[in-house]
Amino acid sequence: MNPTPQPTPMAPSTEPMPAPQKDPVAPGKTNWLLAVIVAVIVIVAAAVGAWWWFNNDTTSSETAAAVTIKDSAFEPATIQIKKGQDVTWTNEGQAAHHIYADQSTTAGLDSQNPLNNGDTYTFTFENPGTYYYYDSLNPKLNATVVVE
Protein backbone atom coordinates (compact mmCIF):
# COMPACT_ATOMS: atom_id res chain seq x y z
CA MET A 1 0.00 0.00 0.00
CA ASN A 2 1.27 3.38 -0.98
CA PRO A 3 1.03 6.11 1.49
CA THR A 4 -0.89 9.18 0.39
CA PRO A 5 1.53 11.81 -0.64
CA GLN A 6 1.57 14.79 1.69
CA PRO A 7 1.77 18.28 0.27
CA THR A 8 5.11 19.86 0.58
CA PRO A 9 5.01 22.76 3.01
CA MET A 10 5.65 26.09 1.35
CA ALA A 11 8.46 28.10 2.54
CA PRO A 12 7.58 31.54 3.81
CA SER A 13 7.96 34.25 1.17
CA THR A 14 10.85 36.54 1.56
CA GLU A 15 9.20 39.22 -0.62
CA PRO A 16 7.85 42.21 1.28
CA MET A 17 4.07 42.75 1.38
CA PRO A 18 2.87 45.43 -1.01
CA ALA A 19 2.12 48.79 0.64
CA PRO A 20 -1.57 49.72 0.92
CA GLN A 21 -2.73 51.93 -1.94
CA LYS A 22 -3.60 55.54 -1.11
CA ASP A 23 -6.99 57.03 -2.10
CA PRO A 24 -6.48 59.00 -5.31
CA VAL A 25 -8.38 61.98 -3.78
CA ALA A 26 -6.67 63.43 -0.75
CA PRO A 27 -8.91 63.85 2.33
CA GLY A 28 -8.55 67.65 2.27
CA LYS A 29 -9.75 67.83 -1.32
CA THR A 30 -12.79 65.67 -0.54
CA ASN A 31 -13.88 68.03 2.23
CA TRP A 32 -13.40 71.06 -0.02
CA LEU A 33 -15.44 69.49 -2.83
CA LEU A 34 -18.24 68.56 -0.40
CA ALA A 35 -18.30 72.12 0.96
CA VAL A 36 -18.65 73.54 -2.57
CA ILE A 37 -21.52 71.16 -3.40
CA VAL A 38 -23.37 72.05 -0.17
CA ALA A 39 -22.86 75.79 -0.83
CA VAL A 40 -24.28 75.49 -4.35
CA ILE A 41 -27.33 73.59 -3.06
CA VAL A 42 -27.95 76.24 -0.37
CA ILE A 43 -27.67 79.09 -2.88
CA VAL A 44 -30.04 77.42 -5.36
CA ALA A 45 -32.56 76.66 -2.58
CA ALA A 46 -32.43 80.27 -1.36
CA ALA A 47 -32.97 81.59 -4.90
CA VAL A 48 -35.95 79.29 -5.49
CA GLY A 49 -37.42 80.23 -2.11
CA ALA A 50 -37.05 83.94 -2.80
CA TRP A 51 -38.64 83.58 -6.24
CA TRP A 52 -41.59 81.67 -4.73
CA TRP A 53 -42.01 84.20 -1.92
CA PHE A 54 -42.17 87.19 -4.29
CA ASN A 55 -44.50 85.42 -6.73
CA ASN A 56 -46.89 84.02 -4.12
CA ASP A 57 -47.95 86.89 -1.89
CA THR A 58 -48.66 84.96 1.30
CA THR A 59 -48.96 87.97 3.57
CA SER A 60 -51.87 89.74 1.88
CA SER A 61 -54.56 87.34 3.11
CA GLU A 62 -53.40 87.78 6.70
CA THR A 63 -54.66 91.37 6.78
CA ALA A 64 -58.29 91.96 5.94
CA ALA A 65 -59.34 95.24 4.40
CA ALA A 66 -62.38 96.71 6.15
CA VAL A 67 -65.56 98.22 4.76
CA THR A 68 -68.16 99.72 7.08
CA ILE A 69 -71.80 99.54 6.06
CA LYS A 70 -73.79 102.59 7.05
CA ASP A 71 -77.49 102.93 6.30
CA SER A 72 -76.66 105.37 3.50
CA ALA A 73 -73.29 104.16 2.11
CA PHE A 74 -70.40 101.71 2.05
CA GLU A 75 -67.31 103.33 3.58
CA PRO A 76 -65.01 103.49 1.75
CA ALA A 77 -66.93 103.39 -1.52
CA THR A 78 -63.82 102.17 -3.34
CA ILE A 79 -61.14 100.01 -1.76
CA GLN A 80 -57.86 98.80 -3.27
CA ILE A 81 -56.34 95.48 -2.22
CA LYS A 82 -53.88 92.86 -3.44
CA LYS A 83 -54.92 89.53 -4.94
CA GLY A 84 -55.59 86.94 -2.27
CA GLN A 85 -56.56 89.56 0.31
CA ASP A 86 -59.77 89.44 2.33
CA VAL A 87 -62.35 92.20 2.60
CA THR A 88 -64.54 92.22 5.69
CA TRP A 89 -67.79 94.17 5.73
CA THR A 90 -69.27 95.20 9.08
CA ASN A 91 -72.83 96.49 9.36
CA GLU A 92 -72.88 99.54 11.61
CA GLY A 93 -76.25 100.70 10.28
CA GLN A 94 -79.62 100.13 11.89
CA ALA A 95 -81.14 98.45 8.81
CA ALA A 96 -80.20 95.00 7.53
CA HIS A 97 -77.93 94.91 4.45
CA HIS A 98 -77.11 92.14 1.96
CA ILE A 99 -73.73 92.24 0.16
CA TYR A 100 -74.16 91.01 -3.39
CA ALA A 101 -72.35 91.09 -6.77
CA ASP A 102 -73.18 89.86 -10.24
CA GLN A 103 -72.34 86.15 -9.93
CA SER A 104 -71.18 85.93 -13.56
CA THR A 105 -68.32 88.32 -12.78
CA THR A 106 -67.78 87.78 -9.06
CA ALA A 107 -68.88 84.27 -8.17
CA GLY A 108 -69.26 83.80 -4.44
CA LEU A 109 -69.50 87.47 -3.44
CA ASP A 110 -72.84 87.07 -1.70
CA SER A 111 -73.36 87.35 2.04
CA GLN A 112 -76.18 84.77 1.64
CA ASN A 113 -78.19 86.32 4.47
CA PRO A 114 -78.88 89.91 5.43
CA LEU A 115 -76.34 91.37 7.83
CA ASN A 116 -77.91 92.91 10.88
CA ASN A 117 -76.29 95.57 13.02
CA GLY A 118 -72.90 94.27 14.21
CA ASP A 119 -72.78 91.33 11.75
CA THR A 120 -69.77 90.81 9.48
CA TYR A 121 -69.10 89.13 6.15
CA THR A 122 -65.67 88.30 4.68
CA PHE A 123 -64.76 87.48 1.09
CA THR A 124 -61.32 86.65 -0.39
CA PHE A 125 -60.52 88.18 -3.79
CA GLU A 126 -58.28 85.70 -5.63
CA ASN A 127 -57.98 87.42 -9.03
CA PRO A 128 -56.95 90.92 -10.10
CA GLY A 129 -59.69 93.15 -11.49
CA THR A 130 -62.37 95.67 -10.59
CA TYR A 131 -65.38 94.28 -8.77
CA TYR A 132 -68.67 96.12 -8.32
CA TYR A 133 -71.06 95.13 -5.55
CA TYR A 134 -74.22 96.49 -3.99
CA ASP A 135 -76.75 96.01 -1.21
CA SER A 136 -79.55 93.87 -2.68
CA LEU A 137 -81.93 95.21 0.00
CA ASN A 138 -81.07 98.80 -0.99
CA PRO A 139 -79.61 98.75 -4.55
CA LYS A 140 -78.72 102.46 -4.35
CA LEU A 141 -75.89 101.43 -2.01
CA ASN A 142 -73.04 100.28 -4.23
CA ALA A 143 -69.26 100.26 -4.12
CA THR A 144 -66.11 98.91 -5.77
CA VAL A 145 -63.19 96.67 -4.89
CA VAL A 146 -60.07 97.06 -7.02
CA VAL A 147 -57.75 94.04 -6.81
CA GLU A 148 -54.13 94.48 -7.95
Residue 47: count other Cβ atoms within 10 Å of its Cβ: 10
Edge-to-edge strands, sheet with 120-125 = 74-75, 65-69, 85-91, 120-125
d(CA 69, CA 33): 64
Residue 130's domain comprises 60-147
Q: Check whether residue 32 and residue 84 sit in a common domain.
A: no
- Phi and psi angles of residue 12, each rounded to the nearest 5 degrees, phi first: -60, 145
Q: Is the CB of residue 109 less than 8 Å from the CB of residue 101? A: yes
Beta bridge pairs of residue 91: 69
Question: How many domains are there within the chain?
Answer: 2
Task: Answer yes or no: pTM beyond 0.85.
Answer: no
Q: Check whether residue 139 and residue 95 sit in a common domain.
A: yes
Q: pLDDT truncated to tens, each residue of the chain (148 aa)?
A: 566 767 666 666 677 777 766 656 555 666 888 888 999 999 999 988 888 777 765 444 456 799 999 999 999 999 999 999 999 999 999 999 999 998 888 889 999 999 999 999 999 999 999 999 999 999 899 999 999 9
Q: Check whether residue 69 and residue 51 sit in a common domain.
A: no
Q: What pLDDT score was predicted for residue 82?
A: 94
**Any domain includes 128:** yes
